Each structure stands twice: as structure tokens, then as C-alpha cells.
Amino acid sequence: MKKRKYYSTKNKRNKKRNRLFLTYKFRIYPTAEQQQKMNLWFFILRRNFRLLVDWLHYLYRKKKKDIYRTFDQFAKKYLLEHNPLCDLIPSEVIDWQVKEFRSQISKYIKPSSCISYRKYRSFVFPAIRYLDIHKRNSRFVDINFPMLGRIKTRFHRQLKCKTIVNVKFTKISKHWYIHILCSVKPSHKNNAVGSVGVDIGIKNLITTSDGKVFKPFVPDIRLLVKIKKLEKQLMRKSPGSSNYIKLKEKIMKLRCKIYNAEVDYYHKITASLVNKNKKILLEHLNIAEMGNRSSAIRQLIQRRRWHLLLHHIEYKSVRDNCQLVWVDPAYTTQLCSMCGAKVYKRLSDRIHICPFCGLEIDRDFNAAINIRQRGIFGNI
């Protein structure tokens, strides 16, 4: 077996240091006419998706040699011929749909067999390079978009970016949002001093080598009780009725509220780690492999959203010039941080007690110290 390489993101991103992509999310308030037009675009995109799937089935049955080459050359032309409603939607959006569909089928040998149905609650304007902004007041602005006109937007923060890559429109419940993908120049100033080892766990979300502990996010109990009551009412309604749709939208709204609170909590944790340290040392965990061990561990990892936490730490460290070092995770929990002896522990053993040197500390704190020592001084 090949040994896994552990590296620093500072070395990894050396060539692409001048390019960093960030997404800014803003809520928009389109008029009834604009909403009707965007809902029509969603309908056209869904119809296009079905047409592309049927065409792919046809190409596969005919046993064409170069399915992908045929698809790349004639996909857009095929949609324009078979769906006359495509004239009502910008051509850039159709280009984005074809490109996204192509990336979805490229990983399958038999492409048409594994494609899941898309509801299309979002679309992308890939050709927008600048925003035509008209200020309303201190909180709201009007942004002009092609074929949609001016849309009222809650502009709660300024865009600190060099260029705009694309703009994505999404609909969540009854609310509309835009996601502006920007190319940002990373900061070269970081006044923080020191390094910290970070252990990510299930009972404690984050334990640092300097003794700080961040507990997992706990949603508001009142919201969970409301969702449970509404789901019971939903079971009594007939699917497709107006009451069923209203209850479903209420449940979705409450779940979005919980998710937004959780993301906000993760932003605050990761920002405090990056702003107070010059170097962050993390375990290079194979989360997919850990989840395959048992379904219970997989569910706990999904609830804690480790992937989201690591993503926030990684992009903020690049943005704020903080060095992020990945460390070999082998035996960081079992080894004693004082004498280096291996002490076997089960998952239920929460205290590290070393029989050789007598050290008695929390197991996550012990692992965080080992991660820091391994990242700075090499293997321990």
C-alpha cells in the first residue's frame, strides 16, 4: 500500500495563492411578475432535463461510439429544436444546464442508468461579470439582471472582490436568494501569534491544545417541538391539497431556521480559531472510511457536519493568511502526550489515564496536544 502524504495547505495552494473564490448570499424580494418568470424558467429547465435524459437513452440504444462527443456538439441544438420554450430563457442559463448535466453523466459507463431526477430550484447566470447596483436606502439596493429587470435586494454586507464569476438564484420555501461567486485576493496580513492543535470529535465538537472546548450545536427545542407537531398534522392531510402544501412550507421554513443557526455557530467557531492563531494543526481524517465502520458512527458524523466545519476552517485560513497543516491521525488518541506510551482506550473511555507517568486528562485534550506536537516536531 502507498503511504498517504500529509501536507500543509500553504504549500498546496502556492501556485493558486492569488485566486480564492468566495460566495456572498443575499436575500432578494422579486415582484409577482418576476417570480412568475423565474418559476417558468424552473419549469423549462425541468423539461430540458427530461429531454436530455431521453436523448441519452436513445444514443445508448443506438450504441453510438462517441456518446459524449455527440452530446457536447449537439445538446444545446437538440434542446432548442425540441423545446420551443427555450426562447423565453437566457441562452447562458441553458449553457450552464448542459455543462452541469455533462459533468453529472461523465462518471458513469452507462450514463443514462444512474441519473437522478432534478427538481431545479436554482439556476446560474454564468456570464455576469459586474453588477448594475442602484442604491435604495442604507439596507436595500436594486440590482439589474438580464431579462428580469431590477430586483430589490437586502445588501447586508459589501462585496470585497476583484471580479464576479457567476450569480446563482435559489428558491427555499417562499424565499428567494442570490449567491454571488467572487474571485477574492487573499490577505497577507495576520497579526496572530502561536499555533494550536485541533481535535474534532463527536461528544465535543472541537477540543484545542490550549484547553478550549466547543460543544456541538444544539437546536432550539421549541422549534423541534413545532416541527414534530406539524409533521403529525401533515400525515393526516391528503398529498397535493392546499393544506398539505401550506404545512410542508411551514416545516421547511422552520428547518431552514435551524440550519441557518447551525451555520452561523460554525462560522463563529472557525473565525475565532483562525483569527487567534498563526498556525492550525488538524488531523487528516478519512470521513467516508470512518462512516463505513458502523451506521451509528456515520449518523453521528453527519449530525455534527464535520465536512462543513473543515470547509470553513480551510477557506478562512487561506483568506486570512493562516497556515493550515494536516497531520497523520494514527494513534493520536491512544498515545500519552507526556511520555509517549501507547494506552489502549475504547470509545466509551473519556479520560486518559497513563499507567507509566500517571497523567490523567480528558482524552480529546490529550489528542489535541498530540496533534500539535506531531505537526510541529514531526512523528511522536
pLDDT band at 10 (very low <50, low <70, confident <90, very high): very low
Residue 302 and residue 214 share a domain? yes
- Say whether both 66 and 154 belong to one domain: no
Q: Pick from 184, 201, 234: which residue ends a domain?
A: 184
* Whether the predicted pLDDT of 16 surpasses 70: no
Judge residue 116's burial from the number of C-beta atoms within 10 Å of its C-beta, 0-12 exposed, 13-18 middle, 19 or more buried.
Answer: exposed
Q: What pLDDT is attached to residue 371?
A: 92
- Are 156 and 8 members of one domain? no
Looking at the structure, do residues 91 and 20 belong to the same domain, yes or no?
A: no
Q: Are 124 and 103 in contact (CB under 8 A)?
A: no
Residue 147 has pLDDT above 80, yes or no: yes
pLDDT at 8 over 60: no
Same-domain check for residues 256 and 305: yes
Query: Which is more confidently placed, 21 or 214?
Result: 214
Region 327-338: mean pLDDT is 89
- How far is it, in rounded angstroms, from Cα 352 to Cα 234? 48
Cα angle for residues 76, 79, 85 (degrees, 5° grid): 125
Q: What is the mean pLDDT of residues 318-327?
A: 88
Q: Are residues 144 and 73 in the same domain?
A: no
Banded model confidence at residue 319, pLDDT cuts 50, 70, 90: confident
Q: Is 187 helix (H, G, I), strand (E, B) or coil?
A: coil
- 69/73 Cα distance (integer angstroms): 6
Residue range 345-378, pLDDT digits in tens? 888 888 999 998 888 999 999 999 999 999 888 7
146 or 115, greater pLDDT: 146
pTM of the model: 0.80
Q: What is the CATH number of the domain that holds 302?
A: 3.30.420
Q: Work out whether strand 279-283 and strand 195-200 pair parallel, antiparallel, or are unpaired.
A: parallel
Determine what percent of the chain is predicted with pLDDT higher than 70.
90
Give a yes or no: residue 232 inside a domain: no
Would you say residue 236 lies in a domain? no
Kindly tell me if the per-residue pLDDT of 9 is higher than 60: no
The span from the CA of 328 to the CA of 279, in Å, is 16
Please identify, among 123, 138, 172, the residue that sits at the C-terminal boundary of a domain: 123
Q: Is residue 300 included in any domain, yes or no?
A: yes
Residue 22: pLDDT band (50, 70, 90) is confident
Same domain for 137 and 117? no
Average pLDDT of the chain to the nearest whole number: 84
Provide the domain count of the chain. Answer: 3
Q: Do the Cβ atoms of 202 and 348 come closer than 8 Å? A: no
User: Could you report the per-residue pLDDT of 159-204, keeping only the tens digit for each?
Assistant: 877 688 889 999 988 889 999 998 887 777 777 888 999 999 888 9
In a domain, 285, yes or no: yes
User: What's the pLDDT tens digit per position in 226-261?
Assistant: 999 999 999 999 998 999 999 999 999 999 899 999
Domain boundary among 123, 143, 171: 123
Query: Do the domain assignments include residue 233?
Result: no
Is the distance from CB of 333 to CB of 363 less than 8 angstroms? yes
Same domain, 95 and 175: no
Q: What is the pLDDT of residue 7?
A: 36
Domain with 365, as residue range(s), is 1-13+188-221+248-380
What's the pLDDT at 199? 92
Query: What is the distance between the alpha carbons of residues 124 and 249, in angstroms, rounded to a whole number?
Result: 24
Q: Are 296 and 329 found together in one domain?
A: yes
Please report whether residue 234 resides in a domain: no
Tell me: do 345 and 210 sit in the same domain.
yes
Sign of CA dihedral 148, 149, 154, 160: positive
Q: If you average pLDDT over residues 53-60, what whole number do you get?
A: 80
Same domain, 357 and 216: yes
Structure confidence by residue, pLDDT tens digits, 283-295: 988 887 777 777 8
- Listed in order, strand segments (DSSP E) in the chain are 20-29, 122-125, 132-135, 140-145, 149-154, 163-172, 175-184, 195-200, 206-208, 213-214, 279-283, 323-327, 351-353, 360-362
> If you average pLDDT over residues 13-41, what whole number do you get?
82
Q: Is residue 242 part of a domain?
A: no
In a domain, 338, yes or no: yes
Are residues 113 and 134 both part of a single domain?
no
Q: Angle, nearest 10°, between helix axes 242-276 and 221-236?
A: 160
Reply yes or no on whether the pLDDT at 100 is more than 90.
no
